[in-house]
């Protein structure tokens, strides 16, 4: 698909089909404007016919706006598969939360994305497409980027779709593309240790976020099957390596599940685990997924949990929940839509 191409690759593509280089730039612009081929006015009809097969066919299938201004989009791809992405407005600009796979095969017990397993990986151009479509909704284009920050925290496990995610990062940070700074990109993973090492060696300045959610391996394995493969100690070693290589502070996500991981002892153990680590913990009460038998902890309790971490000198905050009224956590909206 043509949105998988970098600017230079697009020019090469244009030449290959016998076109002058400026046509490559026009096609690139068209894709980055988020327009359908029909909506593009500066390409000859004959040329449109030649590229129509490879021109991206993704579109916004539905849009939901929350009372707090958060917007959720269901993006539909050429094969009818659907993912969700979320747009959040902050003081400094817009952050978009992207999906990297249709579904997920990690099997976390509290997560809606994984209810039906993995359907397929998204290509780099499909991950990018979510940004291009929403950027257009905001009135943006290639040269006028409305979105400032990207978090890979939607459906899917980004490190389970490693090559496409890396290519996506290359595309979105390209000066010829949307030119989003690596520092404004966060990648969240349930902890695929071998891939964390690999990512550290790419020399990217992106922020690594680890979904930890438990303080010992047994408890973690109860809610996250990946814990059967990698120990918490191995994840933390990989994080140290990532920090040494990039100098980037590591973020940990800790979702509070009532009676599972939210005791005083859990807070104490978490502080012990992270002692001396340049990191920050985002605590978030579980967003209840109705298909799952797990309950969230109250926000008040979450604040108390954070206080316990702070007492032990661990930097932590309760993460703002946004868009709860429109299907809060990852995969919930799609799960509802599929019914």
Closer by beta carbon to ligand SAH, 57 or else 107: 107
Instruction: Compute CA 143 distance to the chain's CA centroid, rounded to the nearest angstrom.
Output: 23
CB of 154 to ligand SAH, least distance (A): 6
User: Dihedral sign, CA of 109, 112, 114, 117?
Assistant: positive
289 binds ligand SAH (CB under 6 A): yes
111 binds ligand SAH (CB under 6 A): yes
Q: From 59-67, 107-115, 120-128, 237-245, give the range in contact with ligand SAH by CB under 6 A.
A: 107-115
Instruction: Report the distance separating Cα 251 and Cα 241, nearest Å.
Output: 14
70 binds ligand SAH (CB under 6 A): no
Instruction: Report the distance separating Cα 159 and Cα 190, nearest Å.
Output: 9
Using the rule CB under 6 A, which residue among 211, 246, 261, 271 binds ligand SAH? 211
Q: What are phi and psi of 143, to 5 degrees?
A: -85, -15
Active-site hit among 85, 108, 279, 330? 330
Using the rule CB under 6 A, which residue among 55, 110, 242, 252 binds ligand SAH? 110
Closer by beta carbon to ligand SAH, 30 or else 108: 108
Instruction: Report the distance separating Cα 257 and Cα 294, nearest Å.
Output: 7
Q: Which two tokens stand for residue 94?
A: 């817009």
Cα–Cα distances in angstroms (integers) from residue 32 to residues 52, 136, 280, in the given order:
16, 9, 34
Active-site hit among 84, 126, 157, 253? 84
Instruction: Report the distance separating Cα 32 and Cα 189, nearest Å.
Output: 28
CB of 125 to ligand SAH, least distance (A): 20
Q: Which residues are tagged catalytic?
A: 84, 330
Binding positions for ligand SAH, rule: CB under 6 A: 106, 108, 110-111, 153, 157, 188-190, 211, 253, 255, 284, 286-287, 289, 329-330
């Amino acid at each position: 698909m043509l949105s998988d191409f970098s600017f230079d690759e697009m020019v090469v593509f244009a030449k290959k089909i016998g076109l002058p280089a400026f046509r490559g730039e026009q096609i690139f612009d068209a894709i980055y404007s988020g327009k359908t081929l029909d909506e593009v006015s500066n390409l000859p009809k004959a040329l449109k016919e030649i590229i129509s097969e490879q021109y991206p066919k993704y579109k916004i299938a539905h849009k939901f706006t929350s009372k707090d201004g958060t917007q959720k989009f269901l993006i539909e791809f050429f094969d009818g598969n659907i993912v969700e992405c979320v747009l959040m407005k902050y003081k400094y600009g817009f952050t978009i939360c992207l999906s990297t796979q249709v579904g997920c095969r990690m099997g976390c017990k509290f997560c809606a994305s994984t209810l039906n397993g993995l359907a397929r990986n998204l290509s780099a151009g499909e991950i990018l497409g979510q940004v291009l479509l929403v950027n257009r909704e905001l009135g943006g284009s290639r040269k006028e980027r409305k979105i400032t920050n990207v978090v890979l925290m939607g459906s899917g496990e980004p490190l389970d779709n490693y090559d496409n995610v890396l290519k996506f990062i290359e595309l979105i940070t390209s000066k010829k593309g949307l030119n989003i700074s690596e520092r404004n990109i966060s990648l969240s993973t349930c902890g695929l240790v071998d891939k964390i090492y690999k990512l550290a060696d790419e020399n990217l300045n992106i922020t690594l976020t680890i979904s930890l959610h438990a303080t010992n391996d047994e408890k973690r394995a109860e809610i996250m099957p990946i814990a059967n493969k990698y120990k918490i100690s191995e994840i933390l070693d990989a994080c140290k390596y990532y920090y040494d290589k990039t100098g980037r502070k590591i973020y940990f996500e800790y979702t509070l599940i009532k009676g599972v991981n939210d005791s005083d002892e859990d807070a104490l153990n978490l502080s012990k685990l992270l002692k001396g680590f340049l990191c920050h913990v985002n605590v978030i009460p579980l967003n209840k997924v109705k298909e799952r038998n797990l309950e969230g902890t109250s926000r008040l309790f979450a604040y108390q949990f954070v206080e316990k971490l702070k007492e032990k000198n661990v930097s932590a905050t309760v993460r703002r929940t946004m868009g709860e009224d429109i299907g809060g956590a990852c995969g919930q909206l799609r799960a509802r839509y599929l019914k």
